[in-house]
Amino acid sequence: EAGVAQSPRYKIIEKRQSVAFWCNPISGHATLYWYQQILGQGPKLLIQFQNNGVVDDSQLPKDRFSAERLKGVDSTLKIQPAKLEDSAVYLCASSSIIANTIYFGEGSWLTVV
């Protein structure tokens, strides 16, 4: 079974620039998550989708972050404009509706300089 795919793996941008991350969840998983993990901390949920609807985006900085999952499969997370404190690993994850187990992708490492 293929895992959660993410791209790009690494990105370096200057502050005030924009960046987009892509995620393809495990086939058949209705729930998709975007987590932000700052070095030395646990993952923090940014947004959770079920199919193409948003379940929870309470911790998403909506003035600069946006995410979509238009067809209920792939998802993109965008940051515009980026700030230095956005430097982190952006983890996409997915789970089925039945099971609680969350499967994480390898992550997209963002450095804002």
Partner 1 sequence: GQQVMQIPQYQHVQEGEDFTTYCNSSTTLSNIQWYKQRPGGHPVFLIQLVKSGEVKKQKRLTFQFGEAKKNSSLHITATQTTDVGTYFCAGRSGSARQLTFGSGTQLTVLP
**φ/ψ of residue 86, rounded to 5:** -85, -5
> Applying CB under 8 A, does 56 fall inside the site for partner 1?
yes
> Applying CB under 8 A, does 45 fall inside the site for partner 1?
yes
CA distance 35 to 46: 5
Q: Which residues pair with 93 in a beta bridge?
A: 33, 104
Smaller CB separation from partner 1, 91 or 110: 91
Closest approach, Cβ 17 to partner 1, in A, equals: 25
Which positions lie near partner 1, rule CB under 8 A?
Answer: 35, 40-45, 48, 55-56, 58, 91, 100-107
